Homo-oligomer: A and B are copies of this chain.
Amino acid sequence: MTDSTSRAQQKARTAGLILEVARHRFASDGYDGTSIRAIAAEAGIDAALVMRYFGSKDGLFSAATEIDLEMSDFSDTPRQDLGAALAQHFVERWEATDTGVPLRILLTAAPKDTAAAEKMKTVFEQQLLPVIAHAVPGDSNGDAVPAKRAALIASHVLGFAFCRYVLKLPAIVAMDEAEATTWLGPAIQRCLEGGIAPLRR
């Protein structure tokens, strides 16, 4: 602890650098398209060091895709404003670099890796569903309705993200955050209201 850069700090810094590089490579090239050698080269270290810190490529991928949607304080949001509030929150999460990059990684890796698909499913169902279940309790006859609402909201958000970040449709890419929020708000709000036929079943 004599030097300003102790060896524990050096290790943490290198591991952080690996994580940062890995996130960008995974996000742009996918899981298979990204090699540990490429990550190591971009980080200026040896490939074996990545193995030593994260155990395996899967371990590095898991560490690089830790996602927290930070969905907490929607308890007091009126139900009629929840669609707009959720839209704004999701757009901000996807556009932010800290949470957006891992989300985009999972979005691109989900098709091939079953674990990534499961992880994204868990993220959306376990972080989004409680908010929905609290705001719109299950009807008297059916109890799977909140899950359906959450899934349909996820469908809207993921479809928008897919067209914006994967397909890069010009008309979707051109929208700024405010415009995206304005568009997604009513679409999400529709999933929260009870009169729609598919939600009745």
Partner of A190, one of B108, B170, B187: B187
A169 with B187: CB separation less than 8 A: no
Given that A156-B156, A158-B163, A179-B198 are contacting pairs, would A169 and B121 also be in contact in the complex, using a CB cutoff of 8 Å? yes
A140 to chain B, nearest CB (A): 19
User: A171 — which chain B residues lie within 8 A by C-beta?
Assistant: 144, 147-148, 150-152
User: A30 — which chain B residues lie within 8 A by C-beta?
Assistant: 32, 111-112
Indicate with 1 or 0, residue by residue over A137-157, a CB within 8 angstroms of chain B CB atoms: 000000010011011101111
Known: A151-B170, A155-B162, A158-B163. 11 other contacts (CB 8 A): A29-B112, A112-B112, A124-B169, A151-B163, A151-B171, A155-B156, A155-B169, A155-B172, A156-B159, A162-B162, A179-B198
